Amino acid sequence: MQRSPSLLLSGLVLALCAGSALAADGKISSLGKANPKAPILSKSELKACLAQQAKIKQTAADLDQRVQAVNAEGDDMAKRRDALKGETDAFQKKNDAIKDFNARQAAFAERAKQWNADKKAFDEQEMSGSERKSRARDLQTRLDELHKDEAALNTEGQTLAAATQNEGATLQSHQVAFNEALDAWKTRQSALQKERDAYELDREEWQQTCGNRRFREDDETALKAGK
């Protein structure tokens, strides 16, 4: 079962947290690894960058939790797939038993056909009294065996039919449920990957517009104070 690459979001969060590299005067910092000569953010720009940074951090944490949940669900789907395979293999063995039953039933039909032919020949053929009695006993013995085998085959056939019919319907319902769950999981996995891609774009955009810029610490202090 193919799974999207796990999101290594913790490293991304650390990247967003990196910074605060003080300049010599201790009043200019960086949200990332800005060049010492990088432009300085205005207070309004810093406010927007900090807000975007907080949003990206929250998105990273949310994605990380959801990725773990989807991965765990993928493990569960793998277990369900293995269980379904075991169920399918067991059902296939019953099908093999049915094939064996059908072969024995066909052999029985040939024996019955041969008995009928021998009985017809017996009725039409002229023979002595002792020979007729001997042939009649043989035919009766074979007929008794045929009746006994027929009863056994009928009982076995009914048992196999009931078992395979019920188990076949159950297996089919399990297969349908699994396929529906698998499709739903793949849909969630695909949607999550799209969100991850969007997150990466937002993070890269933030890095370009904010992470590579410097800011005044006084502006940051004022913003944190609500000014």
Query: For 39-98, what is each residue's pLDDT tens digit?
Result: 999 999 999 999 999 999 999 999 999 999 999 999 999 999 999 999 888 888 888 888
| pLDDT band of 7, cuts 50, 70, 90 | very low
Mean pLDDT of 123-128: 85
* % of the chain surpassing 70 pLDDT: 89
Mean pLDDT of 14-21: 43
- What's at 75, amino acid-wise? D
Phi, psi of 19 (to 5 degrees): 130, -145
Residue 34 pLDDT > 60: yes
* Cβ-contact 27, 216 below 8 angstroms: yes
Three-class DSSP category at 30? strand
| pLDDT band of 182, cuts 50, 70, 90 | very high
Question: Sign of dihedral through CA atoms 38, 18, 215, 45?
Answer: positive
Query: Higher confidence at residue 15 or residue 30?
Result: 30
Tokens at 185, concatenated: 């999981």
* Cβ-contact 212, 49 below 8 angstroms: no
* Cβ-contact 154, 146 below 8 angstroms: no
CA–CA separation, 14 and 123 (whole Å): 100
Phi, psi of 27 (to 5 degrees): -115, -5
- The lowest-confidence range among 103-117, 123-137, 155-169 is 155-169
pLDDT at 56: 94
Helices 129-206 & 43-124 angle (0-180, nearest 10): 170
Residue 1 pLDDT > 70: no
With a threshold of 0.75, does the pTM exceed it?
no
Q: Where are the alpha helices (DSSP H) in the chain?
A: 9-17, 43-124, 129-206, 217-224
Q: How far lies 18's CA from each of 31, 133, 148, 162, in Å? A: 7, 108, 87, 68
- The lowest-confidence range among 110-114, 134-138, 164-168, 176-180 is 164-168
